[in-house]
Structure 1
Amino acid sequence: MGTRLREAERLADATPAHRDRYTDLLRVASLGVVVLGHWLMAAVTLAPDGSAEVGNLLAEVPRAQLLTWVFQVMPVFFFVGGFAHALAYRSLAARLADPSAPGPGRPVYAVFLRLRLRRLLRPTMAFVLVWGAAALALQLARVDGALLDAALRLVTQPLWFIGIYLAMAALTPPLLRAHERWGWGAFAALAGAAATVDLLRLALGVPYVEFLNFAFVWLAVHQLGFLRADGRLGLPPVLAGGGLLGAAALVALGPYPLSMVGMPGERISNMAPPTLALLCHGLWLIGAVEVLRAPATRWLARPRVWRGVVVAGAFSMTAFLWHLTAMLGVYGALLALDVPLPAPASGVWWAQVPLRLAAALALTALLVAVFSRFERPGGGATVASSGRRGTGAVAAVGVTLALLGVLGLSTVGYADLLEGRSALLIAFRVTAPVAVAMAVLGWLLVERAGAPARRAPAG
C-alpha cells in the first residue's frame, strides 16, 4: 500500500494544468458520501429468535429522509462518469485513427472498454471471488451466526452501481454521437422516456415497464456529463433550481415518496427502479455542485489538497466494494463480544455511532491495504501497441455478460448457495454461481478484446 501512496503522490505532482481537478474531487467525494451514508443508515438489531436484522435508520426517523435530497449523490458520480467517458473516447479515437501513432487500426470500442473498465472490473472480480469462496466454505462447514445470513445477502447489493456504470461505458459511443448531433435534445429524449415509463407504470399499471428506467434515468444523468465536457451545461443555478422545484412538485403532488433512497416496505421506491423524481433530484444536485465549481477549483490548486484527492482516488473503488463488509464485521464483533445492540435512533445508539464509524473506517483501511493492488491500472493504461486481438463485437458481448453478472449477484447475494437460491433479473432467474460465471467470463472477454496482440517494436 505504501507503493500505491507514493505512486499517487507522484501522479498528483505531475498533474497537467489543464486537468479538470474538480471532477476528480466529485468522484471521490460522492463515493465517500455513499459509504458514510450506508454506515450511518444501517441499524442492526437482534430478533427474538436470535438472528440479526439489518434495518434502516431512515425508517425509524422518517423526518431524516429529507437529508437524502443532499446525500443521495449517485447522480453526481454518474454525471462525472459521462464527463470522463466523453473525453476518454474522443481522445482514444483520435489516437487510434492517426496512422503515425502507435497501434493504428485497433478496434476503438474494444480498447475503450478495456481501458475504462480495467480499474473497475479487476477489484470487483477480486471482491466477487473472495466473497464467493468464503460464502461457499462457510455454508459447506455449516457455520451459523446471528449476522451471517444477513451479511451474505447484503454485501453484494452495492454491485448494482457497478452494473449501471458498465452499461454507461458500453453505450458511450452511440450516446455520444446522439449528443454531438442533438445536444440537449438527446438528454430530453431520455428524460421524456423516463417520464413515459412512470406514466405507464403508475397511472396505467403496465407491468414490468418500470425496469426500463434503470436505463433511461441513469443514462440521462450520464448525458449531462457529455454536456459538461463540451461546456454546454448552461447556468448551474437554473439547473439546480429547476431540478429542485421539479422533484418537490412530484413528491408533493404525485405518488413519489420523500426519500431519494430505497426504504424497506415502501410501495414505490424512487431508487429501485429509479423514477422521474430521482432524475429531477439529479438535476438539482448536479446544478448545485456546478455552482461550487469555481471556489472548489481554487481550493484544489493547493498542492496538499490535490495530493489528498489523488491519494483517495487511488483506493476509492476498493473502499466502496468492501465498506459493507467492514460495517458488518464491526457489528459481528459487537455480537461476538456480547455488546448490547440498542434500539435504533435511541440515545445509546447515537452514543455508539462515533465508535462504530471509527471501527468501520479502520477495518475498511485494513481491507483496502489487502485488496487495493487489484485497483492498479497496470498495463491497460497504454495504447502503445499494435495488432488486433479482439473485436468490438467481442467487447460488447463481454461487457453485457459482466453487467448482467454483477447485477444478478447484487440481487441474489451469496446466502443459501447450497439450496440453489435464485432471484429475478429483469426477465429470467439467476443463481449466484451463474451470476459469478457471467461476470468473470464477461470481464475476460473485455480484457481479451481490447488487449494488444504484441508490443510495438522498440525504436
Structure 2
Amino acid sequence: MATEPVSVRALADATPAARDRYADLLRVLSLGVVVLGHWLMAVVVVSDDGAREVGNLLAVVPALQVLTWVLQIMPVFFFVGGFAHALSYRSLARRAPGRSVYADFLRARLQRLLRPTMVFLLVWAALALVIQAAGGGDGLTGVALRLVTQPLWFIGIYLAMVAFTPPLLRLHERHGWAVFGALVAAAVAVDTARFAAGLPYAEFLNFAFVWLAIHQLGFLRADGRITRPGVLAAVGLVAAAALVALGPYPFSMVGMPGEKVSNMAPPTVALLAHGLWLIGAAEALRGPGTRLAGRARVWRGVIAANGIAMTAFLWHLTALLAVYGVLLGAGAALPEPASGAWWAQTPVRLAAAAVVGTVLVAVFRRFERPATPATPATTTGTGTGGPVAAAGITLCLLGVLGISMVGYDDLLEGKSATLIAIPVTAPAALAAALVGWLLVERAGRAGRASRRTARPSLSDRAGARVPWHRASPRCRQSPMAPCA
C-alpha cells in the first residue's frame, strides 16, 4: 500500500511532549559541523612541481588546528547514536518477549543508512569506470575519486556500533559504568602496546574500543546516569591536554597529511579524552539546548534536516569537488589558501557548494526513505535471521571501510589497501558491502512480510517521509530511527 507523505509541520505538531528533542538537535548540529568543516578544510594547493593538489587548510595554517578541539564533533554523533540504539532495542525487546529481535533491530536501524550508501557507492563506481575507461583519472580527477569515499569510515564505525548494541547493552544493564571503564582500559592497553611495545597492527583494535566507549556513554545517558556532565567535560579536557603535551599524540584531533601518528585513524586515547570533554560540554548545555529545540521553527528545521541528513553527508564532498572542478575548468584563478583573498572568496565558494549539494540531495534523497515503513517487530514474527543479519552487517562493515581506505582511483588497475592486515581492492569491497546489505534486508524480511497487509497508521505514514520520527505516543525519545 502506498504511503502518504506527511509535512514537516504535521510531524512537528505530532511530536510527543516527552520526546528528547535535544538529542535530535545534537545529531543535526554534529553532522552539520562535519560538512562545514570538510568544506572549509579542503583547499587546492600548488605542489613544488607546479601540479594542483587538494590539501588541508589545517596543514597550511597549523595554528588553526586548535579549532579541532571544538569542531571534531563526531564523538557527539556516536554518543547520541548509543542513546538512540538503547531505546530502540529495548522497545523491540519489550514488544517481542522471549524471542530474538536482532535481525529486526539491524534492519530498522540500518534501512535509512544502507540504501543511500549503496546508491552512492554504485554511482561513484560507475563514474570511476567511465572516467578511467576514457583514459582519465589523473591529477585532480584521481584525487577526487579517492577523496569522495574517505568519509565512509564514519558509516563503517556506525555499522559496528549497531551490530554490537545488543551484547553491550546487556553488559551495561548488569554492570553500568564498569563496562565503559573496561572499554577505556582496553583502549589504553592498545595504545601502550602500540607506542611502548611497537606491537604491529595493535592500533586497529582502537577502532572498536575508542568508539564503542563513546557509544557506551549513550547507554548511560538513556538511563539518566550522566549526572555530573561538567566533571566529565573537565576530566576529558585535562586528560586530552596532558596526553598531547606529554605523550606521542599530535595536537590536531583530525588527521593531518604526512603525519606519523593520527588521533583519528586509528583513534587514540587522546581522541577518547577529547570525546569525553565534548560530550560532557554537550550534556552541560542540555537545559538551554532543550529549550532551543522546543521552539516551533527550530524543531521543524531539525525534523527537515534529519530527514535528509545521511544523503547530505554522503554527497557533501561531491558538491565541493564539483565547485572546484568548475572553477578550475573555467580557468579561474584560485587565491593562495588562507590568504585574505581566499577568506574573502570563502562565502561564495561555500554558497556554491550548498547549491550543488541541494541539487544532489533533491536527486538522491528518495533513497533515504525506506521502501516500506520500518515498523518494529511484533510477537507474530519468527525471531529468526540473527546469524544472517550478523553475517550481513559484518560484510557491510568490512566493505564500506575497505572502500573508504582504497578509494575509486585506479579502479581498473586493481589498486589495494590494507584493512586490518588484509589487502582489499575496491571491487571486492563493493561486492562485500552489497552482499552484506542484501543479507541484512533478507534477515528482516520475514517479520516485514507478516505485517505487509496491515493498514499503515499515521505514525507509519509519517515514518515513510522522515522515518526516525514517529507520531505514535510511544515514540518519545529515540532520535534517529523508528521507535516503538
TM category (shorter chain) comes to: over 0.9
Task: Verify the 8 A CA contact 1:52 1:150 in the aligned structure 2.
Answer: no
Deviations 1:143-182 (A, max 9, x none): 3564210000100000000000000000001100111111
Question: What corresponds to 1:431 in structure 2?
Answer: 425
Q: Shift of residue 15 of structure 1?
A: 0.8
Q: Which amino acid in structure 1 is aligned with residue 95 of structure 2?
A: R
User: C-alpha root-mean-square deviation of aligned residues, in Å?
Assistant: 1.8
Q: In 2 relative to 1, CA 379–5 (structure 1 residues): closer, same or farther, beyond 3 Å? A: closer
User: How far apart are 1:342 and its partner, in Å?
Assistant: 2.1
The answer to whether 1:382 aligns with 2:382 is: no
Supply the distance in 1 between the matched residues of 2:350 and 2:16 (Cα, whole angstroms): 36
* 1:22/1:426 CA distance change after superposition, 3 Å: same
Match of 1:85 in 2: 85
Matched, 1:287 2:273: no
- Structure 1 window deviating more from structure 2 (348-357 vs 163-172): it is 348-357
Among 408, 415, 425, the alignment partner of 1:421 is 415
1:221 to 186, 210, 214: 214
* 1:142 counterpart residue number: 135
Is the contact made by 1:13 and 1:307 (CA closer than 8 Å) also made in structure 2?
no
Secondary structure of 1:15's counterpart equals coil
Name the SS of the counterpart of 1:213 in structure 2: helix
Structure 1 stretch 39-48 or stretch 361-370: which is displaced more? 39-48
Q: For 2:10 and 2:122, locate their aligned partners in 1 and report how far apart those are by CA, in whole Å.
A: 32
In structure 2, what is the equivalent of residue 455 of structure 1?
450
Give the Cα–Cα distance (whole angstroms) in 2 for the partners of residues 372 and 125 of structure 1: 13
CA gap of 1:84–1:451, structure 2 versus 1, over 3 A, is same
Change in Cα spacing, 1:383 to 1:424, as seen in structure 2 (3 Å) is same
Structure 1 residue 390, shift from structure 2 partner = 5.0
Please give the residue correspondences for 1:22-421 in structure 2 after superposition, counting only pairs within 5 Å: 22-47=22-47, 51-97=51-97, 107-144=100-137, 146-383=139-376, 386-388=380-382, 391-421=385-415
Change (3 A) 1:407 1:384: closer
Structure 1 position 377, deviation (Å): 3.2
Partners of 1:241 and 1:284 within 8 A in 2: yes
Q: Could you say if the C-alpha distance between residues 95 and 88 of structure 1 is closer, same or farther in structure 2, counting changes exceeding 3 Å?
A: same
User: How far 1:420 moved relative to its partner?
Assistant: 0.8
> Structure 2 CA distance, aligned partners of 1:313 and 1:209?
36
CA distance in 1, matches of 2:245, 2:45: 33
- For residues 265-296 of structure 1, the C-alpha deviation after alignment (integer angstroms, 9 at most, x for no partner) is 11111111111110000000000011111111
Contact 2:104–2:377 (CA under 8 A) maintained in structure 1: no
Tell me if structure 2 keeps the 8 A contact 1:390–1:448.
Answer: no
Aligned length: 450
CA deviation after TM superposition for structure 1 residue 384, in Å: 6.4
Structure-2 separation of matches of 1:245 and 1:110: 41
Q: Cα deviations across residues 45-76 of structure 1 (Å, max 9, x unaligned)?
A: 24466643111111111111111000000000
- TM-score of the aligned structures, taking structure 1 as reference length: 0.95
Task: Name stretches of at least 5 consecutive residues in structure 1 with no aligned partner.
Answer: 99-104
**Measured at CA, do residues 4 and 366 of structure 1 come closer, stay the same or move farther in structure 2, by a change above 3 Å?**
farther
Give 5+ residue unaligned stretches, structure 2. Answer: 456-484
Aligned to 2:439: 445
Quick one: structure 1 residues 448 and 281, their matched pair in 2 at CA, closer, same or farther if it must change by over 3 Å? Answer: same
**Per-residue deviation, 1:378:** 3.8
Distance 2:454 2:9 in 1: 29
**1:166 aligned partner, one-letter code:** L
For residues 270 and 52 of structure 1, do their structure 2 counterparts lie closer, same or farther at Cα, with a shift above 3 Å needed? same
- What letter is aligned with 1:30? S
Report sequence identity in percent.
68
Instruction: Provide TM-score, normalisation by structure 2.
Output: 0.90
What residue identity is the alignment partner of 1:289?
A
